[in-house]
Amino acid sequence: MALSSEIDSRDRGGPAQPLLIARELRKHFPVKGARGKSVQAVDGVSFTVRKGETLGIVGESGCGKSTLARLLLHLIIPDTGELVFDGEAVGVADGIAVNTLRRQVQMVFQDSYSSLNPRMPVRDSVAFGPFIQGRKKTEARDIARAILGKVGLDADLFGPRYPHELSGGQKQRVNIARALATDPRMVILDEPVSALDKSVEAQVLNLLRALKRQLNLTYVFISHDLNVVRYISDRVLVMYLGRIVELGPVSEIFERPFHPYTKALLASRPSMDPARRIEEPPIIGDPPNPIDPPSGCRFRTRCPFAEAVCESTAPVLGEWLDMQSHVAACHMQDPASGHSKAGQA
């Protein structure tokens, strides 16, 4: 089934062609009973995912990271914006169909129980994808057996079981198997380990890394846990209230963060050392309601460096050149913005 070599017969644009390009994705959800108001879940988000990388997406609740994941699979239709998968636009006349996209991009959700059919033995859940895509029933069963083995579950022992007979870690392994059964090129992982105990979380992270190597996969890994994102990602995208605030290689983001929000997020991580406790909160207050986001820079209401320009003008993400680019959407990064600290950082 899956191809271990570097050459993938489905590869069209070659290694330099990004696997996925998202351009100006936007999704606003109208609010019932409040005319003209909407939750601005994702508001003009552009980025690329390179073949073979793991792109980590971090942000707090309400920042739009889960909506973004669903937009990438057209599980939610974007209001505006464009998706390009391996050089071909998705869902347009001369591009590829959404169904074709979903064969190559799969998703693993946070809640391992509700994403499996409770009335189906898990081997049937895993076999369902290949079957629906035209494989014979026996073929689909064989694929399910093989892939269950790959995720570390004995197919004879666990295959006939129902989801409620498995532990959280085992269920999440089944979900990973289900996602991989259609032999995708890219997997979107939406908080895949957040509901697991720490000892099991480590097992699943190790498994995800091993599978990525074996099956030549590309990951988009969404998490609120910065330590996990640092461990697993090659590049990191930081979101705040529906917009990208910073994007760069993992070492850059964690060692030289530009944006005050990224800095605050990093400083909010517990130290694991009782001798170095956090004495003062890095920032105060909660993230604002995405129904009525602040004008200009959306972080300005919590930012210690906010000035008039931050209220009047939304900062743009710096120009993105290549995979090593480290960019942030902050007026302090732009010498021409008029912010008193511009260009000093």
Partner 1 sequence: MDGGVELPLVEVSDLNVKFVSREATVHAVNNVSFAAKAGEVLCILGESGSGKSVTLRTLMRLLPRQARVEGGVRVNGKDVLAMRSRELRDLRGGLVSMIFQEPMTALDPVYTIGQQIGETVRRHTGCAHKAARARALELLELVRIPSAERRLDAYPHELSGGLRQRAMIAMALSCNPRLLLADEPTTALDATVQVQVLILLRRLQRELGMGMIFVTHDLGVAAEVADRIAVMYAGRIVETGPVAQVLANPLHPYTAGLLASTVHGQDRDRDIDAIPGSPPDMRRLPHGCSFAPRCPRRTAQCRAEIPEPTFPAPDRMAACFNLSASAG
Residue 11 or 60 with smaller CB distance to partner 1: 60
> Whose Cβ is closer to partner 1: residue 148's or residue 226's?
226
Report d(CA 219, CA 233) in Å as an integer: 9
Helix and strand totals (H; E) in the chain:
11, 11
How far apart are CB 95 and partner 1 at their closest, in Å? 36
Comparing CA positions, the residue from 321, 304, 322 lying closest to residue 330 is 304
Diameter of the chain by CA atoms? Answer: 68
Nearer to partner 1, 93 or 275 (CB): 275
CA dihedral 263, 264, 269, 273 (to 10 degrees): 80
Q: Which is nearer to partner 1, 214 or 227 (CB)?
A: 227
The size of the chain, in residues, is 345
Task: Decide whether 49 or 228 has the Cβ nearer to partner 1.
Answer: 228
Binding stretches for partner 1 (CB under 8 A): 60-61, 167-170, 197-203, 205-206, 209, 224-228, 230-232, 250, 264-265, 268-275, 277-287, 289
Least separation in angstroms between CB 130 and partner 1: 28
The minimum distance between CB 220 and partner 1, in angstroms, equals 18
61 or 340: CB nearest partner 1: 61
Q: How far is the CB of 261 from partner 1 (least distance, A)?
A: 9
Q: Inter-axis angle of helices 168-180 and 122-132, to 10 degrees?
A: 20
Q: Where are the alpha helices (DSSP H) in 42-193?
A: 65-72, 98-104, 122-132, 137-150, 155-158, 168-180
| Strand intervals (E) in the chain | 20-30, 38-49, 54-58, 80-85, 88-89, 105-108, 186-190, 218-223, 235-240, 243-249, 327-328
Tell me the Cα Rg of the chain.
21
Q: Give me the least distance between CB of 168 and partner 1, in Å please.
A: 8
Report in angstroms how near the CB of residue 9 gets to partner 1 at its nearest.
30
